[in-house]
Structure 1
Amino acid sequence: MHGTQLPSEWVRRWAHLVAPGSTVLDVACGAGRHLRWLHAQGYAVVGVDASPQALSACAGLGELVCADLENGPWPFAGRSFGAVLVTNYLWRPLFPALVQSLAPGGVLIYETFAQGNETVGRPARPEFLLRSGELLQVCAGLHIVAYEEGFLPQPDRFVQRIAAVRESGAKNAGDPPLRFSLQP
């Protein structure tokens, strides 16, 4: 079943930014490759997907929500999470809800296909490919910890990915800058 692969290298690389004990929301979680991995790391997990079949593969991992994110309301209005995770999924109208769902100190880890992917495979339609720098624009109010855009081999694909943190509170001019370890 799609979604049973190993967790994304990008997710594994930046998950250490998520505060211990936080709840992580996996958007369009599929069969739960990231839910399983994050649950094993000790996080409470919430998965949302439109497919009841995919969610059935995630039974027992955490809170599972079956919702059509493209035609229905955002099912987490008023809730916040220590991390929001999105991989291989793009529905631009969700961008504001994703950012608003981050708790103070919360991390957005996002990785999906970008322009150029149409030259090597699917998805190929522009509405499913991020424009150059688009995730930087989405995360303009967040602290960008890491950003990459370009070609990755095996399988060949063009991606854009970001790890960004909502600052914990109002900063004063004399406050030290945010510090993040680039290694777990």
Structure 2
Amino acid sequence: MSDGQFSRPTTPSPWVMAHAGRITPGADVLDLACGAGRHARFLLEQGFRVMAVDINISGLDDLIGHPGLATLEADLENGPWPLGNASFGAVVVTNYLWRLLFPRLRDAVAPGGVLIYETFAEGNEAFGKPSNPDFLLKENELTDWFSDWNVIAYEHVTVDRPKPAVVQRICAVRPA
């Protein structure tokens, strides 16, 4: 998703931190569209093995060689799904929306695994970028995509930090 430049937060999302405890200890976690790796770092500190994927993984250079980290540089929007049939104990996605990936995300979460997703939603255009509707979730869009999963938590809210924004977020467990 590229709707102009906006500053990238460096601390983990409170939503991710609040729900990471639902991930099975020691699980493999996919940090999709990982950016500079704020969640990869947090998840590694929690003892998870992390596959960090982004179009540019240079923000993870300081972690190269970490035994729990695998990285993959891939264009998620203009190339084939880079992970084949791999599945993970959890998938974490923040500040990224490419709707064509939702079926792949569903498949990437192993049965009994957790999806932690948070990104911008309709209404965010009042606060700036992203403002393109292609990159803003519609009301209840995440619950619609994961309606057959066990939804642990869902919100469509206005937040003040790291900057004022309208976000939608979900924590859901794939049926075993």
Structure 2 length-normalised TM: 0.91
Equivalent position to 1:68, from 58, 72, 75: 75
- Aligned-residue CA RMSD in angstroms? 1.3
- Compute the displacement of 1:101 (Å): 0.6
Q: In structure 1, what is the equivalent of residue 49 of structure 2?
A: 44
> 1:149 and 1:4 mapped to 2: Cα distance?
20
One-letter code aligned to 2:19:
W
Are the equivalent residues in 1 in contact too, given 2:115–2:173 (CA < 8 A)?
yes
Equivalent position to 1:151, from 132, 135, 158: 158
- Compute the displacement of 1:3 (Å): 4.7
The equivalences for 1:28-177 within 5 A come to: 28-61=33-66, 62-154=69-161, 155-168=163-176
User: Which blocks of at least 5 consecutive residues in structure 2 are unaligned?
Assistant: 1-6
> 1:69 and 1:148 mapped to 2: Cα distance?
26
- Compute the displacement of 1:57 (Å): 4.6
User: Which blocks of at least 5 consecutive residues in structure 1 are unaligned?
Assistant: 169-184
Are the equivalent residues in 1 in contact too, given 2:12–2:42 (CA < 8 A)?
yes
> 1:36 and 1:56 mapped to 2: Cα distance?
12
Q: In structure 1, what is the equivalent of residue 4 of structure 2?
A: none
Larger Rg belongs to: 1
- 1:123-154 per-residue CA deviation (whole Å, 9 max, x = no partner) reads 00100100011001111221100000021113
Q: Which moved more, 1:104-113 or 1:59-68?
A: 59-68
> 1:56 and 1:3 mapped to 2: Cα distance?
17
> 1:3 and 1:33 mapped to 2: Cα distance?
9
Q: Which moved more, 1:48-57 or 1:104-113?
A: 48-57
Spell out structure 1 runs of 4+ moving beyond 4 A.
none
Higher relative contact order (CA 8 A, sep 6+): 2
Q: In structure 1, what is the equivalent of residue 3 of structure 2?
A: none
> 2:9 and 2:144 mapped to 1: Cα distance?
31
Tell me whether 1:22 sits opposite 2:30 in the alignment: no
Aligned residue pair count: 167
Identical amino acids, percent of aligned pairs: 50
